[in-house]
């Protein structure tokens, strides 16, 4: 199977959202800094989110945070059929947000990632999800980064690729590892070199090994996300049997 076989198609979302038990919904969104969009997002944030927004010193970082929380709340509100402002979060010790108990039978799980003013959101019922999105940065020394974050096998694989293919391959590898760490919830506190993934452009996305004291390989499923040509992205889900729907937030009616 090639990456093209795993291609994600970003569709116009239906007016009424329905997330089935065996589905994962992915959303691709731009983080608008437009004053009207910012005002609308700000209106639904909680006091602690507003306090966090004030702590960003950089205007762009603050506005991107406000925009992604606004979208996250809007999407959670539509799945839970409650107003966006009523969504309540709790955080694990490593900062991963999840929903505080709400009046639904199955807990809705979610994760998000942002890069370069774009964001990726993932949602599923009763199963942990992790997503990661990174802008492919041609000016980053990926072989040096690989020394720090990739396993020996991954470094060897990367080094034998044609130089023109190394940057994209590194970011593909990186997002796949980080999506798994984010699904499990500890993030980068777990050394990424303990995870090994496939990342060749002609290989299916696969978690090949998990070493050390993190959760075992069983039941974690990795999927490439074809975000756009400037970004690498990945999804990790806790179980095998699911289908993925990809919605484009900007195409909402
Ligand atoms: C979580 C982590 C991987 C995010 O990496 P990143 O590339 O900077 O950011 P991404 O855009 O991919 O993801 C950010 C989102 O992931 C979620 N998130 C935060 N912590 C998370 C975690 N431990 N696991 C999974 N998701 C997490 C949040 O929704 C966050 O969005 P927000 O900024 O709007 O709140 C990174 O911060 C990390 O490893 N943290 C480790 C734990 C840690 O040091 N915590 C300190 C705070 S308690």
**Domain boundary assignment for the chain:** 9-128+243-251, 134-233
User: Which mutation among 52, 73, 145, 187 tests ligand 1's pocket best, with the greatest number of atoms within 8 A of CB?
Assistant: 187
pLDDT score, position 213: 64
Instruction: State in Å: Cα 193 to ligand 1 middle.
Output: 18
Spatial distance between the Cα atoms of 83 and 75, rounded to a whole number of angstroms: 10
Both structure tokens of 165: 């293919």
Rg over alpha carbons for the chain, rounded to the nearest Å, is: 18
Which residue has its alpha carbon closest to ligand 1 atom 42? Answer: 94
Q: Which atom of ligand 1 is nearest to the CA of 92?
A: 23
Q: Which residues of 22-41 are buried (b: 16+ CB within 10 A; e: fewer)?
A: eebbbbbbebbeeeebbebb
pLDDT score, position 106: 66
**Selected residue with higher pLDDT from 104 and 70:** 70
How confident is residue 9, by pLDDT bands cut at 50, 70 and 90? confident
Spatial distance between the Cα atoms of 224 and 29, rounded to a whole number of angstroms: 17
How confident is residue 8, by pLDDT bands cut at 50, 70 and 90? low
Class of CATH domain 9-128+243-251: alpha beta
Q: What strands lie across the sheet with 129-135, from one edge to the other?
A: 129-135, 231-237, 221-228
Question: Residues lining ligand 1, CB < 6 A?
Answer: 65, 68-69, 94-97, 111-114, 132, 178, 182, 185-189
Which residue has its alpha carbon closest to ligand 1 atom 46? Answer: 94
pLDDT score, position 136: 96
How confident is residue 7, by pLDDT bands cut at 50, 70 and 90? low
Residue 139 has pLDDT above 70, yes or no: yes
How confident is residue 16, by pLDDT bands cut at 50, 70 and 90? confident
Pairing verdict, β 97-99 and 89-91: antiparallel
Q: Specify the 3-state DSSP secondary structure of 44.
A: helix
Average pLDDT over residues 65-76: 98
pLDDT in tens, 206-245: 999 988 766 777 779 999 999 999 999 999 999 777 899 9
pLDDT score, position 116: 92
Q: What is the pTM of this model?
A: 0.94
Average pLDDT over residues 184-209: 90
Spatial distance between the Cα atoms of 251 and 253, rounded to a whole number of angstroms: 6
pLDDT score, position 105: 60
Q: Which atom of ligand 1 is nearest to the CA of 68?
A: 34
Average pLDDT over residues 103-107: 65
Q: Which atom of ligand 1 is nearest to the CA of 119?
A: 11
Spatial distance between the Cα atoms of 197 and 182, rounded to a whole number of angstroms: 15
Distance of CA 179 to the CA centre of its chain: 6
Average pLDDT over residues 130-142: 94
What average pLDDT is seen over the chain? 92
What CATH topology corresponds to 134-233?
Ribosomal Protein L22; Chain A (3.90.470)
As a whole number of angstroms, the longest Cα–Cα distance in the chain is 53
pLDDT score, position 4: 47
Average pLDDT over residues 20-41: 96
Which residues touch 90 (CB under 8 Å, ≥6 apart)?
Answer: 97, 98, 99, 100
Residue 3 has pLDDT above 70, yes or no: no
Spatial distance between the Cα atoms of 142 and 136, rounded to a whole number of angstroms: 10
Instruction: State in Å: Cα 178 to ligand 1 middle.
Output: 10
Domains 9-128+243-251 and 134-233 share a fold: yes
Both structure tokens of 59: 């205007």
- Its sign, for the CA torsion 94, 79, 67, 226, is positive
């Amino acid at each position: 199977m090639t990456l093209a076989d795993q291609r994600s198609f970003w569709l116009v979302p239906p007016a009424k959202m329905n997330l089935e038990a065996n589905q994962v919904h992915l959303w691709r969104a731009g983080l608008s800094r437009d004053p009207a969009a910012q005002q609308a997002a700000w209106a639904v944030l909680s006091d602690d989110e507003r306090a966090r927004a004030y702590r960003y010193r950089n205007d762009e970082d603050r506005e991107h945070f406000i925009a992604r929380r606004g979208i996250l709340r809007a999407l959670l509100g539509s799945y839970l059929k409650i107003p966006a402002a009523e969504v309540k979060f709790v955080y694990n010790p490593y900062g991963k947000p999840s929903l505080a108990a709400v009046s639904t039978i199955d807990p809705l799980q979610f994760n998000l990632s942002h890069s370069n003013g774009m964001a990726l959101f993932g949602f599923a019922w009763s199963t942990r999800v992790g997503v990661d999105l990174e802008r492919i940065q041609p000016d980053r020394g990926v072989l040096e980064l690989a020394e720090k974050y990739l396993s020996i096998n991954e470094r060897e694989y990367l080094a034998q690729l044609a130089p023109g293919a190394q940057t994209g391959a590194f970011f593909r590898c990186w997002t796949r590892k980080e999506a798994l760490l984010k699904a499990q919830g500890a993030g980068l506190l777990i050394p990424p070199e303990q995870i090994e993934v496939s990342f060749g452009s002609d290989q299916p996305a696969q978690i090949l090994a998990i070493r050390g004291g993190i959760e075992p390989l069983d039941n974690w499923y990795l999927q490439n996300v074809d975000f756009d040509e400037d970004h690498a992205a990945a999804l990790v889900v806790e179980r095998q049997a699911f289908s993925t729907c990809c919605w484009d937030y900007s195409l909402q009616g």
